[in-house]
Chain A
């Protein structure tokens, strides 16, 4: 017998929650307990009184599973709202990566040239290394990192995706 899995589509969820102890464990535990995917997850406090946090979750699944994820998140007591950013039309997604590249000679020059093409900033340098800061969609960050592998990539740190809907309305 083989175990079958269904193909899914990528969704970005914005979840507003009470900024309380254990909330992240509650959210991530829900995903692991019910077998949902987390491709990336970011969380930070977003209100002036530090009472609310916004969690941005990139997940994937068939439409029925995405609906379930939203309903399951929404019924958690500390969850205020769940928005599927793909649902509300266009949205903006950004991710930051810090990319450390070590080397000398042509590879070093090539790394700097490509960083310029990608509009990555140099935030630290030594005679034998750069740290680039790159901001963009996950795809763009992926492509930049792939190129840097050829130019002496030694370390990467990524934030995961934050996203917000276009237009004047709040979620």
Chain B
């Protein structure tokens, strides 16, 4: 609830102050709480929405959110349906070849395995992951049989139904899922660090826009507001990995 009020406050401030500014369309998946999701009122909310609105305010841009399927999120950026991606997308070399990233707004975080018991075989069994994620790439190379799904939700459902022995995904996504499963799911003690953190994806040719967002992200790192946002209870919680002093270098 608090999120909604804050988010709509940010939108209002935006509309009042920057009515004539350039409109930037931000693409997101809307199925990955707490990064981005559609709440029960049918609005796009989450950490990235609040962050994105704040970044737009700092960069003097008017932003609007567009929901897009994960599978086609990069092609639709390239064909110009929106101008930037904020969808919990980790910065990887493969993606750097086709799009550009801003500096990360979430530090490199852990990916975890979740299964029905703690002793499942994650090296030789069937492991579920979302299509086109760094986790899917990692599973494919780990020797396990990769079972891909279009949405994060389905990867967890596959473990519950026994289709896969474990799911491999961002730890921040899995922690609340495990906590609320009533003991049905357990987190395996096998965290892996993947990718270069989460950043905003833009078209290669949009250097000017990338510069604006880069500056806005840096300014939020410098005044500590980004760390505060990450550590908020409804997003990643006080125990989340934050930038800390490393983020303040060069301020």
Do A and B associate with each other?
no
Q: Which residues of B contact A (CB under 8 A)?
A: none
